[in-house]
Structure 1
Amino acid sequence: MLFLLFTTTLFAQNRVETSIDTTKNKIGAQFNLTLRTVVDTAETVTFPSGNNFGRMEVIRNYVVDTVKKDNRYELIKKYGLAQFDSGKYTVPSLKVFINQKPYFTDSLSVEVANVQVDTLQQKMYEIKPILGAPSASSGIWKWLLIVALLVGVGFLVYYLIKKYQKKKIDKETFKTPIEKATSLLNTLEKKELWQKGEVKAYYSELTDIARNYIEEAIEIPAMESTTSELIVGLRNASQKKKMAVSQETLENLERVLKQADLVKFAKSKPLDFEIAEDKKKIEKAILTLDNAIPVEVEEEDDILNEAQRQKLIKEKLRKKRNARIGIAIASVVGLIVGVFTFFVLTKGFDFVKDNLIGHPTKDLMEGEWVLSEYGNPSVKIETPKVLKRMDAEKAVPKEAMALIKEMQMFAYGSFIDNFYIAVSTNKFAQPVEMDLSKALEGALKMMELQGAQNIVVKQEDFATKEGITGIKGYGTMTILDPVNKKSTKAYYEILYFGQEGGLQQIIILHQEGDEYAKQISERVLNSVELKKVTQ
Structure 2
Amino acid sequence: MVPPLQVVINNKITKTDSFTVVVNNVVVDTLKQQLYDIKPIVSVEEPFNYEWLYWILALLAIAAIGFGLYYFIKNRQDKQNKVEEELFASPIEKALNQLQVLEKKELWQKGETKAYYSELTDITRTYIEEAVEVPAMESTSGELYESLIVAVRQKNIKLNRETLERFKRVMATADLVKFAKSKPLDFEIENDKRIIDSFLMSLDKAIPRTDEEAENQFAEELKRKKEKKQKMQRLAIPLGVMAFLMMIVLTFFLVSKGTTYIRDKWVGHSAKSLLEGEWVTSDYGDPAIIVSTPKVLKRIVDEKTQNNLPAHIKGTAMFSYGSLTDNFSITLKTIAFKDTTQLDISQAAERELRQAELLGAHNMVVQTDDYEDPKGITGKRAQGTFTALNQVTKEEEKMKYMLLVFAQKGGAQILWLISREDDQYAAEVMDKVLDSVELKKAIPND
State if a TM-score over 0.5 links the two structures: no
Structure possessing the higher relative contact order (Cα contacts under 8 Å, 6 or more residues apart): 1
TM-score of the pair, normalised by structure 2 = 0.37
- The structure carrying a bigger strand percent of its residues is 1
- The structure carrying a bigger helix percent of its residues is 2
TM-score of the pair, normalised by structure 1 = 0.31
Greater C-alpha radius of gyration: 1
